[in-house]
Structure formats: C-alpha cells, structure tokens
Structure 1
C-alpha cells in the first residue's frame, strides 16, 4: 500500500504534538532536592502541634515505615506528642464491604464539622495478598469531606494485619490528637476476620448494617454484635425504608440476648441514610449520651488505661516479629530452611524451633 493510502486508512497514525518546554530543569532539581530533605523529629513535632497537615502526614508516613532506621525517629515524634494527645473521641466504624462505610463517614464527618468539630478519618484499605498493593481510594469516595478544612483523611494499607487494621493506626491516633483533631474516626476494612484490634483502640464502636441482604440473621451471631455500642442500618431511603425499619426491630431483639456491658451502656439500634442525611444527627446524639454515661461512671478512663496495656503487649509482639525477620543471620538461614520444609526433609514446627533458637542465642 502506498503512502497516500496509508494516510487515508483508519489504522494510520497522526503525528503527535510534542510537549512544550515549559518545565524548567532548575525547578525540577529544586523539587527533587526538597523531597530528599528529611525534617528532624523536633521540626515535625513543632509542625504537628501548630496544626500543620503536611508535617502530620510526613510523621504518619514515618511511623508507618518498616525501615528500622525510621523507628527511633518515629518514637521520638510520638513520645513528644503524647502529652498533647488523649483529648479526642475515638470512634470505630465497621461493616461488611458494600454497606456504605465511606459514604456514611462522609455524611457523618460533615455533620460533625458543621458542629465545629475537627475530624480525622483513618481509613484502612485492604491490601492484595498477591501484589501486596492497595487502592487507597477513600479520598476519592469522600470527595466532599476531603475538601473540608476541618477534616483530614488518611488512607492506609492494611498490609498483613488480621482484621484490616493498619499496623500503625494506634500511633497515628496520637499524632492526629496532638495536631488538634478532637474526633478520630477509624474505618476498618470490614472483612469480618477480627474487629478486636479496632475495638481495642476506640471509645465507641459502631456497626453498620444493611437491610434486605440476609444480614439480619448474621447479626444475631455473637462476636461483633457483643462489641458494638450501636448498630445503624444504613441506606434507609427510598423503597428500602420499610426493610430498614424491620431490620432495626430484628437487631433490637437480638441485642437483648447478650449480657450487660461493663460500661453500663445498653447498645442501641437506629436507621439512617447517608444520601439524604436522615438519622445522621441522631447517631452523634447517641455517641454523646454514651460519652456522658461512661465519663460519669469512670469507665471511659479505665478503658483507655486497659487499651494502653493491650497495645504495650501488641507492640512487643510486633517488634519481636520485625526484629526476627530483619536479623541478618535469620535471613541467611530462612531460605535454606524453607527449601528443606518444602522437600519434607524437616517438619515446619521443627524448622521454626531451629530458627527461633538461632535468633535467641
């Protein structure tokens, strides 16, 4: 085919337009140089205490890092912020995928900021077990709340943490509180494996449900229902209002089957619509009543003390695991041990014992 026919073909390519040379090489170098400069722990703390969101984000990134070199610096930042923390309400929100957690949080968070609250949303996204990547799309789903000057959204990958709670969420709460956020919302992945972790770092635990999906029967099961301080049936709008009210009645009956909580609080049920906003103010009213009760009977402070003890032990377990896998001698021995296990030359339990004895020598 000749050149003329090539130009008339639907498969022919048109000459592209080259990008204009509007980017200064000097500017690029300056940006790259700036990114390489790592602020000191003192600088980060000063920025966090003054409400600087950029410094808060950089500190959280430092805390989430698995690089052993960042550990000392991260601990310095956290310890300096501890005195300025513990002045917020921590709310955990969980529910199965598709229940509308992100939409609910956007509507609920916007209501709180309208009341003058400063809201930090710590959203945990599931990590792929294959690529180990995470979409981290919560800022996209909460497009209105992310533009609110009194709100801060920080998505984090769940990694290999059971139950979908990011490994460093507990420390991130401290940093957000020091930065002046008085309401911390933690959104779990909602995979149903273990909500115990998020329950052990919040003051109020909210379980989102939907009607008409067989979820009522699942809700009657123990476990997560016992941990919930309130059950809210979301998406109660349009043709779904009647189903939502029926689901509320069923959950309310189920709650009476459980023993009384140590807090003295009786779990409640409610319906809401994250789209229309119906029922959203009532959710905050419920949380406010819970806080009033638990502050009066001192359960609030006692629970915070118990949580600190729990996370002490959890951190020890985490550090031991991290140090074990970062040990040079273990890394050298691990691969050969894996191959021996794969070829059935040694049992997994005996192999693990050998590696642990080597580590603790």
Structure 2
C-alpha cells in the first residue's frame, strides 16, 4: 500500500519534519525509500519543499571493516556531541542479503543509550544491493534530517571493505576506523579508501591492546607519506581511540573542527558540496535511465534478446550495450 495514501498530505509531512516530529521524519524517510511510483513522486515534491531548510549540518561519514567497532564508536561519539549541545542524526546502512533480500537493521539495538535521547535520531536502512556502502536514498535522508534540525549527521556504512568510496561523495568529513592485528597494516598503502579518509582512527586501543594500537598508528602514519598531497591542503591525522572507555573523543572533534575551518577558508568545503550535488544528479540520472530500460516492455524484450546472445557468445558485452542503446535512442 502506498504511503502517500495513509492520510498524511505533503503539507503535513513538511510541517512535521520542520517541527522536528521524529515519527513524521521516520515516515518521510520511509516514503523516500519506497519503490512505489506514487510514493517516489510525493517524495520528490517533499524534498523540493524542504530544500531551503537543508545544508546547515556537518555530514560525517564513518566507515571501516566489519567488527572494527563503528556502531560502538558512533554511540560514544554521539553521546559526547549531545553533551556539547548538538542534535545528532545517525543514518546507518545495513547490508542486504543477496539470497532473500532482507536486512537485520539492528543498529538501534547496538546504540541503546543514544537511541533513547530525544535530541538523537537513529535510522537504519538497507543498502538493497546499492554499491559503495550506502543506500540509494541516503542523500535524501540527509536532507530530511537537516530540515528536522539535526546539526551533525553521522553516516555509518555497511562495512564491506575497499568498495565503500561512495560515502565520500556525500560527507564533509570521512572517518576511517581501523584496528590493530587485522592485516590492514600491510594492506594500507593498497587501500583506495585510506587516501580518501580525512582522519584515521585506530579503535579498540585499550587494555592489552594499547601498545599494539600505538604501533599500528605509526604504520599508518608512515604509509600516508606515500600518498599525494590533498587538494584541500589537509594533512590526514591518525589517532588511537577506545570507544568503550571512551578516550580521545575531544581530540577527534577538534580535528574535525580544524578541518571544517580550513576547508571553509579555502572554499574547498563549499565547492565540494556543489560537486557532490552534481555527482548525485549524474548518479540519479543513470539509475532512472536504467529503470526506464528495464520497465519499458519493448526495451525489456530487446534486452532479453541481447542477454541471450551474450550468453551464447554470439555478441560481446560491448556490442550488446551498443545495440540496446541504439534501439532505445535511435
């Protein structure tokens, strides 16, 4: 059943988001994530209507391998920021099973204390097979949270490894969490994500792991010397932290503020936001063109013919793509 038919008008959704009604904010996000055409049309109108109320938050991406402690860090960091008077939204992306297309969506249970604070909002979403560690509608969800008055948005990625570069295209600051003894020390120079990070945190630096974490920190600092200088003039810091105790969160926040000050001074922050919007447009356009091809009956039949020819080695992939494009756009 379409969410647009459940008694909430566009004006009611907009009003609820702007008056910081968390229940209506959740429904607005669900509307944006719906695959129904009627819901998608209403979601587009809603985003357009609240656009002038967006853009004032700090968007922080948090990524790292599974088990690195992203959720534990986000809860500790979120509670730290709440004490400083900020309103925190956490957009957590959970992996979708390729077999049954389901997601656990368990991050609220992993951030129990944070989820109970009225100045915090936690929204888990399935990535639904979307590449890059985020979901297809993460950007729209960011805008809705900004319109609802959340001034720090934390985006937690799926946590599958090096492919999670898409989070860089929607965040102002990217935190990369690592742990010692996971093999990352040896692979650090090879990781494309590492040079995209704005700060590297060696997590779980507590107890018997403190000394090993310090050694891992040194390894990452040495590896960063081999990377080219950032165009935003920022030197990537590496720090050890313990999310459970917690430690060094004030230092992490100071680095983030230093970065924002620098990049706003040299205009990188504003230019990056503009480039991200264009990237969002290009990605959305590509997705809609693909949906058009898949949903059009004639194009769907032609696509199946070409797929069969490719499977039978009668056509190459390149010629198959060219043939379908010529058929779709004569």
What SS does the aligned partner of 2:112 have? Answer: coil
| Matches of 2:208 and 2:76, distance apart in 1 | 20
Once the two structures are overlaid, the 10-residue window that deviates more, 341-350 or 211-220, is 341-350
Residues 1:329 and 1:68: Cα distance change in structure 2 (over 3 Å): farther
| Counterpart contact for 1:84–1:178, Cα < 8 Å | yes
- The answer to whether 1:227 aligns with 2:196 is yes
Q: Distance in 2 between matches of 1:298 and 1:339?
A: 51
Deviations 1:179-219 (A, max 9, x none): 00000011111212423311011110110000122221122
Does structure 2 conserve the Cα–Cα contact (< 8 Å) formed by 1:119 and 1:151? Answer: yes
* Structure 2 portions without partners, runs of 5+: none
Q: After the TM superposition, which residues 270-349 of structure 1 pair with which residues of structure 2 at under 5 Å, given as runs?
A: 270-335=239-304, 338-339=307-308, 341-343=310-312, 348-349=317-318
What is the distance in 1 between the residues matched to 2:4 and 2:32? 18
Contact map agreement 1:163 1:191 (CA 8 A) in 2: no
State how far apart, in whole Å, the 1-side matches of 2:192 and 2:314 are: 41
**Quick one: distance in 1 between partners of 2:274 and 2:67?**
34
Moved more, 284-293 or 350-359: 350-359
Is 1:156 equivalent to 2:125 in the alignment? yes
Q: Note closer, same or farther for the CA distance 1:55–1:299 as it changes in structure 2 (3 Å cut).
A: same
Matches of 1:184 and 1:261, distance apart in 2: 24
Q: Which is higher, the Rg of structure 1 or of structure 2?
A: 1
Which residue is equivalent to 2:10? 41
The alignment covers a number of residue pairs equal to 329
SS of equivalent to 1:92: strand
Pair 1:176 & 2:140 matched: no
Moved more, 330-339 or 82-91: 330-339
User: Which residue of the partner structure matches residue 216 of structure 2?
Assistant: 247
Q: Which residue of 2 aligns with 1:28?
A: none
How big is each residue's C-alpha offset from its partner over 1:46-98, in whole Å with a ceiling of 9 and x where there is no partner? 11011011111111111112222222211110011110000000001110011
Which of 301-310 and 227-236 deviates more? 301-310
Tell me how far apart the structure 2 counterparts of residues 220 and 338 of structure 1 sit (CA, whole Å).
39
Question: Take 1:234 and 1:349, find their aligned partners in 2: how far apart are those partners?
Answer: 45
Q: Residue 53 in 1 paired to residue 45 in 2?
A: no
Range moving further from structure 2, 299-308 or 190-199? 190-199
SS of corresponding position for 1:46: helix
Cα deviation, residue 131, structure 1: 1.3
**CA distance, structure 1, for counterparts of residue 274 and residue 5 of structure 2:** 39
In the alignment, which residue of structure 1 is the partner of 2:172? 203
Q: Are residues 1:94 and 2:63 paired? A: yes
Q: CA deviation at 1:348?
A: 4.9
Give 3-state SS (helix, strand or coil) of 1:180's partner: coil
Q: Aligned Cα RMSD in Å?
A: 2.1
Distance of 2:34 and 2:244 partners within structure 1: 36
Using structure 2 for the length normalisation, give the TM-score: 0.93
**SS of 2:190's equivalent?**
coil
1:150-184: CA deviations, max 9, x gaps? 11111111112112210011111111100000000
Tell me the distance in 2 between the aligned counterparts of 1:357 and 1:229: 43
Q: Secondary structure at 1:200's aligned position in 2? A: helix
TM-score after normalising by structure 1: 0.85
Indicate which of 76, 95, 98 corresponds to 1:126. 95
Structure 1 spans left out of the alignment, 5+ residues: 1-31
Task: Find the residue that maps to 2:53 and give its secondary structure.
Answer: coil
1:258 aligns with 2:230: no
